[in-house]
Structure formats: structure tokens, C-alpha cells
Amino acid sequence: MDVQIDDERFERTVEAYSEIGGTENGGLHRLALTDSDKEARDTFVNDLEALDLDVSVDEVGNIFGRRDGAEDLAPVFIGSHLDSQPYGGRFDGQLGVLTALETLRTFDDHDIMTDRPVVIVNWTNEEGARFAPALLGSSAFTGRASVEETLSTPDEYEGTVTLEEELERIGYDGDRPCTAGDIHSYLELHIECGPELEANGNSIGIADAIYASTWLEVTVRGQSKHAGPTPMEDRQDAFAATSEAVRDILSIPDRLDDESVVTVGEVHVSPNKRNIIPGEVTFSIDFRSGSDTVVTEAKNEVERALTASCRNHGTEYDIAEIMAKDRTDFSSIVTDAIEDATNSFDYPYQYIESVAGHDAMPMNDIAESAMILVPSVGGECHSENEFTRMDDCLAGANVFANTTYTLATKR
């Protein structure tokens, strides 16, 4: 059967949620567990209660709304995240949550009773922009991360509080134990955050895998001295060593695998004064590849680059890996269901590997999982320029609703 979502209601809902933490330039500034995230959460909980769902919040603030099935079977989970990047876009995460919401509203419109229960979820702190690393809520839920460590994660954006303190402050320190139990499958819709679907003229991307990735944090230590009298040959300039290493690190994809990507996005120079030689630099490396082996090789290349540059500049370095994710291969049970739904609407589609990480990665550890991606105009993401055409959002939502129905039907 094909169910059709309510286009106007869906558009209205996207507009309404985009007001919460909305920026002047049409983006979204709604970091995890801030006042605006609380407002979005409150709105979401109201919307779930209006559907008569059984609403619960777990220890790390993940929000669930359960719709009963005809039988007491393992449920289908659907959802994404309501938190955003700093001055990010209104589609990343939010579109997936609202698509799941529209799906349940559509089931109610048509008096659909599924065999399996369906649980809608909003994951806490997917972005990792305020509390690092990313995917905190879903990782705690699936056992990839400990609940205790998750709760003690510090706010890195501007405050000194922990995740637990912020959960308490906004009233989302729930009492549901943060454990998964038996889950049949997980479906998530997300914007592509890359240029491929648009370039190929496809409305739907069936994500059958997610790239492997690593986050490294590097500290280079030299010595702070006067920028005037200190001769060039007597310097242990931490920034000079860093810049030499970074040039090398940024060329790793060229050397190892041209489909891999590397980013040095955060650099802190100390003391960061124009007339003092930098004594210490910390910087981040984000590396992603379709192959686990390439990620391992890349880490060796990073070590090699830093060893060489620190030798040249008389400095020392440390590397900490603060996040590591293996390649994710999604379930064909879910991708087949997505493909069937896409075909029944005749939307143009392709299979695609997601370079961006998502909550579906940890969920894939415990349940049959896959994702529906919709096109990002110009590949823009994590910025206020992020945009997905409403026709593509609607196509994604229709495919989502029908895929959810298929997964929730016993066979």
C-alpha cells in the first residue's frame, strides 16, 4: 500500500520548528541542551502527546514516543536529532525528526495499525558541537559509550557545565534507563550534506554505508619567547611545526585514497600574541574514508608528518584520538524497503555512501538500519546556507512513511 503524507502540514511543521533558535539568515542556532533546544524539545513532546504516544525521556535526555502495534513485537525506531551546529542550517537533523513525526501523523490520518510498535526518537547531542564527541545520545543508548561518561561530558562551546547539569537545568534528565532492549529496525532521513544527489538529479539517496572516521586532537609544544631578539635558529616555534605538519596532513587523501577527506578545523595558538613565539598549539584532525584500512594508514601518516616537523623545529607533540568510527554497512532489509517505496512513487534515486556520520551508525550495531538521504543544494551543510528543496523533502517524507510501514509489518 502507498500512504501519502500531508504536504501542507509537513511544510507548516518545518516552518514552525525552524523559528525555534532560527537565525536572521534563515539558519538555525540551537546547540544541544540550550534554552532553544529545550523549547524545541518541549514542542516535540507536545506534538507526541497530541498523537497519544507513550512519551518517555531517558537518563541522557533522548526523547521517545511509542505508538503501539497490533502485536507485542520488537519495535521499529524512527527519528534523528533536533540539536544544530552553531549558526547551522534548518534541515540537518530536524528534517529527519519532523519526517518521522509526519509519518506517525499520517498513520493516524489513515487509521493505520501496524503489526510492530513504532517508536519515534530525538537523540541528544548528535552534533558534538557543544559536547564532544558527536552522537552522544545514540551511542549511550546502544552501549557504544557509558552512560556515566556521557553525563559527565563537559560543555566545550562556551560554558563550564556538564551534560548532566544541563539536562537537569532544562528538565530533560529522564528516568527511563538508557538501554536499548530488543529493536527490530531503525530508519533515519537526513540531508546528504554533500553534492552528489543534486549533481545526479536524484531526489532520494539510499544510504547503504557510512564512511569510517577518526577525530584526532594534536598538541604541539615548543617554547614561548620574545619575537624580536630570539634568533630564528634558536626557536622552538610550535606554530611553525604545526603549519609544516598540517600542509603534509592535508595532502594525505591525494597520497592514500582520493575519495577520503581530511579537515583541520580547529586551531588554538598559545599565547596567541603577535610579538611572542607560539609556545603551544592544539589542533583537530577529522579524517574520513570508505575504508577502515585507509583510516589506519592515515593515522600513521599523521604521526610521520608530526615527527618530521617537530624534529625540524625542536618541538614535541601528543596525539589523542577522541573519536573513532569504523565503516558502517547498513542492512539490506531496510535498503530494500526504501528502494521499493521509492519505486512505487517513481522518484529518481541512487545508492550512496554517506561521508557524514549519523545516529544510524550506533543504531546499526543493535538493529537492522539504513538511511534515506535527500539532496543538499550546492552540497551546503553545517552552515546557514544549507538548503533542501521542499519537493525533495516531500519525496523523502513519502518514502520514509512507506518504508516505516513496511518495516512495521510482520513478514
| Interacting residues toward Zn ion by CB under 5 A | 92-93
CB of 111 to Zn ion, least distance (A): 32
Query: Taking Cα atoms as reference points, which of 133, 139, 127 lies closest to residue 34?
Result: 127
Question: Closest distance between Zn ion and the C-beta of residue 96, in Å?
Answer: 7
Residue 75's nearest CA partner among 408, 337, 368, 402 is 408
Number of residue whose CB is nearest Zn ion: 93
For residue 201, the minimal CB distance to Zn ion (Å) is 24
Q: At closest approach, how far in Å is the CB of 176 from Zn ion? A: 23
Select 260 or 376, whichever has its Cβ closest to Zn ion.
376
Question: How many whole angstroms separate alpha carbon 204 and alpha carbon 188?
Answer: 13
Distances (CA, A) of 401 to 43, 204, 205, 221, 406: 21, 14, 15, 53, 9
Q: How far is the CB of 130 from Zn ion (least distance, A)?
A: 14
| Beta-bridge mates of residue 67 | 118
Cis amide leading into 133 (omega within 30): yes
Q: Which is nearer to Zn ion, 136 or 238 (CB)?
A: 136
| Residue 92 or 192 with smaller CB distance to Zn ion | 92
State the nearest-atom distance from the C-beta of 260 to Zn ion, in Å: 21
Which residue, 93 or 396, has its beta carbon nearer to Zn ion? 93
Burial class (CB in 10 A: 0-12, 13-18, 19+), 227: middle
CB nearer to Zn ion: give 142 or 406.
142
Q: Is the dihedral of CA 22, 28, 33, 34 positive or negative?
A: negative
Burial 352-377 (b: 16+ CB within 10 A, else e): bbbbbbbbbbbbbebbbbbbbbbbbb
Q: Between 138 and 282, name the residue whose CB sits nearer to Zn ion.
A: 138
